[in-house]
Structure 1
Amino acid sequence: MSKDQKSSSVILVMRISPDSNPVSVSRKMDEFVELAKALDYKVSDTVVQERHPDRKYNVGSGKAREVAILARDLSASQVIFYDPLSTSQIYNLSKLCNEAGATCRVIDRFQLILDIFAQRATTHRSKLQVELARLRYELPSAKMLISLSKKEERAGWGGLGDYEDSYEQDVKKRISRIETELSKADLEEDARRLYRHKRGFFMLSLAGYTNAGKSTLFNALVDENTESKDMFFTTLIPKTRALEFGKRKVLLTDTVGFIEDLPHFLVDAFRSTLEGIYFSDIILLVVDFSEPAGHIRDKLVTCHETLFEKGTSTIVTVLNKSELVSSKERNQKMDELFHLIPNPVFISAKEKTGLDDLLLEIEKNLPPLYVKTVSLPNSKVGASALSWFYENGIVDEILYGKYMTFDFCATEDVMAKTDDILRKAEKI
């Protein structure tokens, strides 16, 4: 085994409750493996134990020692647990691995997700969001973290008390500074969204479980080459592009994917990213329709819990990868899942089939446009006012004479402002 292979070799450990559903366990393990692959890790082995949680090791002491020996024999660089580990559990497990002769890092699934986000974060804002999530994750065990890391350096019992308190306060201060900076950035983003709506832009957002094909669909709709690898969290930073939709001005945003049991500190840190979904006129909820019906159901429930938390947008369910499903299987899945699939559209983002049907469904669900016949004085003042109408709605063919007359199409909010524009044009 090469040095590079050694450094990327990992062991995945999952403890399951005695009453766990085997299908659910299998799905979670598959997702666990995909998360590891998202960082190009080689999964050398997976370990599953059915039992109630152990306070010291999470798994039983015998299984913990077995994992430590396995880590040594497989030269694993990391042992990753599905369940969240306390600081003392990480310390105890790391100690077992060291005693067995294994040189490895012990982390949990939450830390793995943080590592993925940290690798994918490229903007200042996303890096701050990742750091905020990490600090919130570490804060509850800040004192224990220092206590255990400095255990051998203690002069006496409790000798690091002042240092532990200082570290905890430093973490809290850093969290406060990041929250303040992100709040300012959120206000700027809210202002941009409001500006876009006032200018007559319709907002569409792609949402859905990670790896469902959102970025592939984004590329197909806007004719772009956004990264769309077959791995989790390829889209961490939302991307917004204009979408050609007749004369309507539409903005489409690709967002970070949902995932089962997403840590609350990550959801909180990336709350502003989700806000973009909540303020959309339409949410395109992308689903991998080739998966088993039970998997689809569980993932739709996860998505709906997030989307319906505070959002009121219309949802169009985009059933992607439909080319992989037979007609019989399609009907069976629809019978079983119809209550979770509002406004369904069958597509293949990869093959670019079904996109016309999707565009028709989007058009059907966009906010209605209102039409008004407008007359502006044929002057410099009128020309200036005319530019406002072009920027905020749809201007049909203009008839020129003493006045410039045309039909103006816009949303109700924009249409309400036209009287003020017309009065100003007539007065000057």
Structure 2
Amino acid sequence: MGELLSIDKDLEKVILAAVRTPDLSEGTVNEHLDELAFLAETAGALTVKRYVQALPMPDNRTYLGSGKLQEVKTFLLMNEDITAVIFDDELSPSQLKNIENELKVKIIDRTGLILIIFAMRARTAHAKTQVELAQYQYMLPRLTRMWTHLERQRGGINMRGPGEKELETDRRIIRDIIAKLKKDLEKIDRQMATQRKNRGKLVRVALVGYTNVGKSTLMNALSKSEVFAENKLFATLDTTVRKVVVRNLPFLLTDTVGFIRKLPHHLVESFKSTLDEVREADLLLHVVDISHPGFEDQIKVVESTLREIDDRDKPVIMVFNKVDAFSHVEKEADDLTPVRRENITIEDLKRTWMNKATSVFISALKKDNFDEFRDLVYSEVMKIHVTRFPYNDFLFPNLNPEELGLEDTGDNDSEELDS
């Protein structure tokens, strides 16, 4: 799977390139490139230089203009240890070919880089199949004669038909592989759907959010489990489901793959079963890295992606995570010190547009403000629970949770389910 799209295991030096169109500010483009550099680092590459060109739109032939492309080429000739150029947009097949012919190094676009990381992160057979399908769908229109080694994946027999050229053979082989992978995933999706049905009528809660905002850390904190968490993009791909109990109220908690801007369409298609966990959830916990300078844009990306995969209106708790990146020292009322990250407090945050009835500010890592978070989750899950099991509400009308004897023991029971 990983041999077709990959970055060398040793630290590879790369250049980043982007086009700034009139609708993008310089700051926004720099933020996009910061994220691209983080993606490259996650894939095992070191960024040594960035190129940004202001254009009305990317060049149809070479993405960058001819002058800027020549500038990149000159830099590559002077630095022969640089082995790849990574572009911040998805390149068309013709752009990819033209740029490779001009620069004579490996060319990777944003989509290809994300696919490389997904291939590295996939652990289960399910995730590997999803990523492999996405890779082949991405590569099919970008084939050149260099892909003729694919014949070896068919048992070493020359299966080329009469008069068939090598490139046509490769395309046919990849189409066959894609068809097989789709059938495999359909089978897996049916199995996953059966598993979801077997979970019964428990309220389903799904963690959603931009990549690397702390969803897995929050999953660990809430369920007292050990889901893999790392300060890298797309640390986890496989869906994890836990049965969690808060104040004797049980529900299912699902950790899902993180979203990202310009999410490749192939991944949305391939990760259908993962996204079905979001579609079938009763409540979403939208986790936000409030310490990230572009967190508001990340919120928009997640909300846009959610609208694409699920048009139903469902309750959402906004969980503003990583408040430990801010100061917790209270300021005097007459303190005129400008508000910066080093002196902002949770109370300051609560005075902004972010403070709503279904919002909470926490640190999943240090469990700051965690009681308030658990109370809010309990309250929202209970609202759904009593509509699903009205008999409970009938037996105890107008009683609050404490009166029902559902005291919070401070110990969550969690149970790992098949995912």
Query: In proportion to residue count, which structure has more helix?
Result: 1
Q: Percent identity?
A: 32
1:317 alignment partner in structure 2: 318
2:282 alignment partner in structure 1: 281
- Contact between 2:148 and 2:167, CA under 8 Å: does it hold in 1? no
- Contact between 2:13 and 2:46, CA under 8 Å: does it hold in 1? yes
Q: Quick one: which amino acid aligns to residue 302 of structure 2?
A: C
The offset of 1:372, in angstroms, is: 6.2
Structure 2 portions without partners, runs of 5+:
1-7, 150-162, 327-340, 394-403, 406-419
- Is 1:9 aligned to residue 8 of structure 2? no
- Contact between 1:5 and 1:42, CA under 8 Å: does it hold in 2? no
> Residue 25 of structure 2 is aligned with which of 21, 26, 30?
21
> Residue 330 of structure 1 is aligned with which of 337, 343, 349?
349
Partners of 2:291 and 2:276 in 1: CA distance? 29
Partners of 2:323 and 2:20 in 1: CA distance? 33
Kindly tell me: are residues 240 and 68 of structure 1, through their superposed partners in 2, closer, same or farther at Cα, counting changes over 3 Å? same
- Contact between 1:238 and 1:273, CA under 8 Å: does it hold in 2? yes
Q: Quick one: which amino acid aligns to residue 367 of structure 2?
A: K
- Contact between 1:345 and 1:358, CA under 8 Å: does it hold in 2? yes
2:88 alignment partner in structure 1: 82
- Contact between 2:93 and 2:141, CA under 8 Å: does it hold in 1? no
The offset of 1:88, in angstroms, is: 3.0
1:69 alignment partner in structure 2: 74
Partners of 1:281 and 1:207 in 2: CA distance? 13
2:391 alignment partner in structure 1: 371
- Contact between 1:315 and 1:342, CA under 8 Å: does it hold in 2? no
1:211-290 → structure 2 map (5 Å cutoff): 211-290=212-291
* TM-score using structure 1 length: 0.75
> Residue 172 of structure 2 is aligned with which of 169, 173, 183?
169
- Contact between 1:83 and 1:108, CA under 8 Å: does it hold in 2? yes
2:98 alignment partner in structure 1: 92
The offset of 1:329, in angstroms, is: 4.6
The offset of 1:126, in angstroms, is: 0.9
Structure with higher Rg: it is 1
- Contact between 2:214 and 2:321, CA under 8 Å: does it hold in 1? yes
Partners of 1:229 and 1:372 in 2: CA distance? 41
- Contact between 2:14 and 2:46, CA under 8 Å: does it hold in 1? yes
Greater relative contact order (Cα < 8 A, sep 6+): 2
The offset of 1:205, in angstroms, is: 1.3
Deviation per CA, 1:317-373, whole angstroms, max 9, x where unpaired? 1011123162475146x33x56xx771011111110222111211121122143369
Q: Give the SS at the match of 1:313.
A: coil
Partners of 2:15 and 2:22 in 1: CA distance? 22
- Is 1:303 aligned to residue 302 of structure 2? yes
1:10-159 → structure 2 map (5 Å cutoff): 10-51=14-55, 52-74=57-79, 75-98=81-104, 104-142=105-143, 145-146=144-145
Q: Give the SS at the match of 1:308.
A: helix
The offset of 1:38, in angstroms, is: 0.9
Q: Quick one: which amino acid aligns to residue 16 of structure 1?
A: R
Kindly tell me: are residues 356 and 231 of structure 1, through their superposed partners in 2, closer, same or farther at Cα, counting changes over 3 Å? same
Q: Give the SS at the match of 2:207.
A: strand
1:206 alignment partner in structure 2: 207
Partners of 1:342 and 1:296 in 2: CA distance? 20
The offset of 1:184, in angstroms, is: 1.1
Kindly tell me: are residues 329 and 42 of structure 1, through their superposed partners in 2, closer, same or farther at Cα, counting changes over 3 Å? farther
Q: Quick one: which amino acid aligns to residue 313 of structure 1?
A: K
Deviation per CA, 1:66-116, whole angstroms, max 9, x where unpaired? 212323433112111112223333233223333xxxxx3111111110100
* TM-score using structure 2 length: 0.76
Question: Which moved further from structure 2: 212-221 or 18-27?
Answer: 18-27
Q: Give the SS at the match of 1:229.
A: coil
Deviation per CA, 1:211-264, whole angstroms, max 9, x where unpaired? 111111111112233232211100111112222323333221211111011111
Partners of 2:10 and 2:213 in 1: CA distance? 31
Partners of 1:354 and 1:80 in 2: CA distance? 40
- Cα RMSD (Å): 2.9
Partners of 1:85 and 1:246 in 2: CA distance? 51
Q: Quick one: which amino acid aligns to residue 164 of structure 1?
A: L
Partners of 1:253 and 1:18 in 2: CA distance? 40
Deviation per CA, 1:120-145, whole angstroms, max 9, x where unpaired? 11111111111111121122344xx2
- Contact between 2:17 and 2:50, CA under 8 Å: does it hold in 1? yes
Kindly tell me: are residues 329 and 246 of structure 1, through their superposed partners in 2, closer, same or farther at Cα, counting changes over 3 Å? closer
- Contact between 1:6 and 1:77, CA under 8 Å: does it hold in 2? no
Partners of 1:353 and 1:53 in 2: CA distance? 45
2:376 alignment partner in structure 1: 361
- Contact between 1:278 and 1:312, CA under 8 Å: does it hold in 2? no
Runs of 4+ in 1 over 6 A off after TM superposition: 147-150
Structure 1 portions without partners, runs of 5+:
99-103, 151-159, 374-395, 398-428
Q: Quick one: which amino acid aligns to residue 375 of structure 2?
A: L
Q: Give the SS at the match of 1:253.
A: strand
The offset of 1:53, in angstroms, is: 2.0
Partners of 2:249 and 2:213 in 1: CA distance? 28
Partners of 2:113 and 2:295 in 1: CA distance? 24
Deviation per CA, 1:371-414, whole angstroms, max 9, x where unpaired? 369xxxxxxxxxxxxxxxxxxxxxx99xxxxxxxxxxxxxxxxx
